[in-house]
Amino acid sequence: MASDNRHAQRIVVGIDGSSSSGHLPPARSSIPCSPRRLAGSRFLGAALAAAVLVAPCTVATAGTASAAVAGEPGAPGQGDPYFPLAGNGGYTVGHYDLGLAYDPATRRMKGDATLSARAVQDLSAFDLDLSGLTVTGVTVGGKEARFERRGQELVITPGRVLRRGAAFEVRVAYSGVPQYVTDPDGSEDGWIATDDGAFVAGEPQGAMSWFPSDNLPLDKASYSFRVTVPAGYTAVCNGELTSQRTRNGMTTFRWEQTQPMASYLATATVGKFEVERYTTASGVPVYNAVDPRESADAAPALAKIPEILDWGTTLFGPYPFSSAGAIVDRAPDAGYALETQSRPLYDRAPNVGTVVHEMAHQWFGDSVSLTNWRDIWLDEGFATYAEWLWQEQHGGTSAQARFDQYYALPATDGIWAFPTADPGEGADIFASPVYDRGAMVLHELRSAVGDARFFNILKTWAREHRYGNGTTAEFVALSERMSHQDLGPLFHTWLFTAGKPARS
């Protein structure tokens, strides 16, 4: 994510116009945990196979029905330090099939979501994350299931216990006017209506404003999108456009994101867009959708996409996804850009630095994802440092000079407000100590181990955790393994120690 300068309360060292913002006022306190449900127990009277649609799977059969199966409800959250109710326990999702119809005039949505999941415990009930909207029906394995709403939790009780290891499909029908989520830092995310559609950016919580999910980056899945909008509007999602058909004044866009994706990186942005399609010399299909009011200003930065892709591939290893591009909207209420997977989303015409930032996230954040939100510097510190590297290698300020500019900031400056790898609370995950000090951490590492080893570490990190997740501890361990150096003091000081670090 990259914040716009116009929304920043304070700007740190505006070197190329892409600097990060300071703190925004907190909008509310943290979300309280809902009480754990009591475990229910059930007897399996008949085959569970009817509740299971996806093979291969482990199911109880009539022959084993004599054994009682007492499942337990899945947890309502995964214990993330900042967003305790994000994600859910008891299952993982392999694929989302999202059918949406959206009318920009009335802002009404009709949704039909099918999740292909697998139980990781004997499951008597489980939650999906969904905020607002009206749920009109839920089935599990094609059979109606009981459901209730508890805040952002959609609690689903299937007719039979889902056995551990069993694959199952849960289908949710819903409708209403989606409402964006307000995050602890006061920013809006999720489904944000615009004057010609919707800007759909879900970091960190907003996916639940438009589809039911296991809303934590740890549970990545592939996605199919089927979005219907009035003719003349374009719906842009992640991955590849597989069909676009207009009938009776409505156009349906089908998109496929085959590589694993965290829910917050999904988009279904709707607007009146100019579309540009081509394939880069390196063979990556590009799909750009641009609000005509932004297209002249956006053109210079968008023209750099093939070059940035090749540059990233040289520095970080193979581009992780099977397509690329950009969505340039006009969304003044959002005030930021987001690295929506394969196709970053901009709230206005971006500059080159912002495009470099969001495209670097394709390696760091999208392909290698967070395990919990406290480690957000693994996304933002890396993407910010990519901006430094781009500048350094394209005739601009050197990374060392930029480091020195930040380091010259007084000890009272907000950049030193908290340690990079311990933001302390969810309101601070998009603040300067994560972005700018996060980039400084990487520069300190580079200075300590030398260029060859440093860039090898970045490539290895991208390769070893490709399509998966990583933690700060794993990055520290990798850096030490590859450099054969004790980097404990460096990381301890720069990642975990409060205040302005002493010069090493």
Whose tokens are 């020195």? That residue is 404
Please, what is the minimum distance in Å from the beta carbon of residue 430 to Zn ion?
A: 8
Please, what is the minimum distance in Å from the beta carbon of residue 339 to Zn ion?
A: 6
Start-to-end Cα distance in the chain: 30
Binding status of residue 334 toward Zn ion by CB under 5 A: no
- Total residues at interface with Zn ion (CB under 5 A): 3
Extract the tokens encoding 131: 């905020």
Please, what is the minimum distance in Å from the beta carbon of residue 61 to Zn ion?
A: 49
Q: Which residue, 141 or 353, is less far from Zn ion as judged by CB?
A: 353
Q: Which residue, 169 or 183, is less far from Zn ion as judged by CB?
A: 183
Pick the piece of the chain touching Zn ion (CB under 5 A) from 71-79, 95-103, 107-115, 373-381.
373-381
Pick the piece of the chain touching Zn ion (CB under 5 A) from 112-120, 201-209, 382-390, 485-493.
382-390
Report the DSSP beta bridge partners of residue 168. 117
How far apart (Å, rounded) are the C-alpha atoms in residues 263 and 207? 6
Binding status of residue 383 toward Zn ion by CB under 5 A: yes
- The interface mask with Zn ion, positions 2-41, x = CB under 5 A, is ----------------------------------------
Please, what is the minimum distance in Å from the beta carbon of residue 30 to Zn ion?
A: 23
Q: Which residue, 208 or 345, is less far from Zn ion as judged by CB?
A: 345
Please, what is the minimum distance in Å from the beta carbon of residue 336 to Zn ion?
A: 9
How far apart (Å, rounded) are the C-alpha atoms in residues 82 and 429? 9
Instruction: Write out the E strands in 211-355.
Output: 221-230, 234-237, 240-247, 250-261, 268-271, 274-279, 285-290, 324-328, 336-337, 345-346
Please, what is the minimum distance in Å from the beta carbon of residue 369 to Zn ion?
A: 13
Please, what is the minimum distance in Å from the beta carbon of residue 365 to Zn ion?
A: 7
Q: How far is CA 422 from CA 13, 45, 284, 432, in A?
A: 23, 50, 37, 13
Q: Which residue, 128 or 383, is less far from Zn ion as judged by CB?
A: 383
Q: Which residue, 6 or 245, is less far from Zn ion as judged by CB?
A: 6
Binding status of residue 431 toward Zn ion by CB under 5 A: no
In 3D space, the residue among 39, 55, 43, 263 whose CA is nearest the CA of residue 169 turns out to be: 55
Please, what is the minimum distance in Å from the beta carbon of residue 249 to Zn ion?
A: 38
Pick the piece of the chain touching Zn ion (CB under 5 A) from 55-63, 237-245, 347-355, 379-387.
379-387
Q: Which residue, 294 or 380, is less far from Zn ion as judged by CB?
A: 380
Please, what is the minimum distance in Å from the beta carbon of residue 373 to Zn ion?
A: 13
- The interface mask with Zn ion, positions 288-327, x = CB under 5 A, is ----------------------------------------
Please, what is the minimum distance in Å from the beta carbon of residue 481 to Zn ion?
A: 27
Q: Which residue, 219 or 366, is less far from Zn ion as judged by CB?
A: 366
How far apart (Å, rounded) are the C-alpha atoms in residues 434 and 43? 50
Q: Which residue, 325 or 381, is less far from Zn ion as judged by CB?
A: 381
Parallel, antiparallel, or unpaired for β 2-3 and 240-247? Answer: unpaired
Pick the piece of the chain touching Zn ion (CB under 5 A) from 9-17, 287-295, 323-331, 372-380.
372-380
> Rg for the chain (alpha carbons), in Å?
23
Pick the piece of the chain touching Zn ion (CB under 5 A) from 31-39, 57-65, 172-180, 377-385.
377-385
Q: How far is CA 10 from CA 203, 342, 388, 429, 454, in A?
A: 22, 30, 20, 16, 32
φ, ψ of residue 227 to 5 degrees: the values are: -115, 125
- Amino acid letter, 338: L
Q: How far is CA 332 from CA 271, 292, 318, 430, 433, in A?
A: 14, 15, 34, 18, 25
What is the DSSP track for 438-472? HHHHHHHHHHHH-HHHHHHHHHHHHHHTTTSEE-H
In 3D space, the residue among 136, 158, 137, 125 whose CA is nearest the CA of residue 52 turns out to be: 158
Please, what is the minimum distance in Å from the beta carbon of residue 13 to Zn ion?
A: 17
Q: Which residue, 196 or 380, is less far from Zn ion as judged by CB?
A: 380
Question: 376 near 297, Cβ under 8 Å?
Answer: no
Q: Which residue, 99 or 438, is less far from Zn ion as judged by CB?
A: 438
C-alpha dihedral, 299 to 300 to 306 to 311, nearest 10°: -150
Binding status of residue 1 toward Zn ion by CB under 5 A: yes
Q: Which residue, 196 or 339, is less far from Zn ion as judged by CB?
A: 339
How far apart (Å, rounded) are the C-alpha atoms in residues 227 and 211? 12
Pick the piece of the chain touching Zn ion (CB under 5 A) from 76-84, 120-128, 308-316, 378-386.
378-386
How far apart (Å, rounded) are the C-alpha atoms in residues 40 and 34? 17
In the complex, the residues that contact Zn ion under the rule CB under 5 A are 1, 380, 383
